[in-house]
């Protein structure tokens, strides 16, 4: 186990590994937090592969909130927009929507076939999930929902 608060941020920055950047807000840093967070942002922008960029920003934001809970620092990391663009965050939001839709269907119809639950979990688009939630509230039966889900 590593106690991050005992590690020196400068030493981790010197390692030049973009994968450690999200942990830096939890380490010891002699300068002002704005300086550290700006360095985190620059390293992510310069070194992250395109497919990992948004997730690195989002996770760094989470760790920054734990350490400082300062909205101005979060803005340095792209603010809410960066968080929303993260595939990780999009998946978490989708999982919440999946649970809500299944709950509505179970409350209305008692039984939801497993194949509907499995198919629903493949839908990650927020607009589509909102449409399905609205339909789950009003659809006449589970079969109608299944057809809408497959459409």
Tens of pLDDT, residue by residue over 58-71, are 999 999 999 998 99
pLDDT digits (tens, 9 = 90+) for 110-134: 999 999 999 999 999 989 999 999 9
3-class secondary-structure state, position 140:
coil
Q: Are 134 and 101 in contact (CB under 8 A)?
A: no
φ/ψ region of 28 (left if φ > 0, alpha if ψ in -120 to 50, else beta) reads beta
Q: Please name the residue that has the structure tokens 């659809």.
A: 139
Whole-number pLDDT of residue 68:
94
Quote the pTM value. Answer: 0.65
Statement: residue 86 has pLDDT above 90: no
d(CA 97, CA 137): 13
Q: Are 136 and 105 in contact (CB under 8 A)?
A: yes
Tell me phi and psi for residue 119, to 5 degrees: -65, -40
The fraction of the chain above a pLDDT of 90, given in percent, is 82
Rg, Å, the chain Cα set: 21
């Amino acid at each position: 186990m590593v106690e991050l608060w005992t590690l020196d941020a400068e030493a981790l920055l010197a390692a030049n590994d973009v994968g450690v950047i999200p942990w830096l807000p939890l380490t010891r840093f002699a300068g002002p937090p704005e300086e550290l967070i700006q360095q985190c942002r620059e390293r992510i922008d310069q070194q992250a592969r395109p497919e990992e960029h948004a997730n690195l920003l989002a996770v760094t934001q989470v760790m920054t909130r734990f350490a400082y809970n300062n909205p101005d620092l979060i803005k340095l990391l792209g603010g809410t927009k960066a968080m929303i663009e993260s595939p990780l965050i999009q998946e978490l939001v989708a999982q919440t929507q999946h649970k809500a839709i299944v709950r509505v269907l179970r409350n209305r119809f008692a039984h939801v076939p497993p194949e509907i639950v499995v198919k629903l979990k493949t839908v990650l688009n927020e607009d589509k999930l909102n449409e399905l939630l609205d339909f789950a509230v009003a659809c006449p039966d589970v079969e109608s929902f299944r057809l809408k889900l497959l459409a």
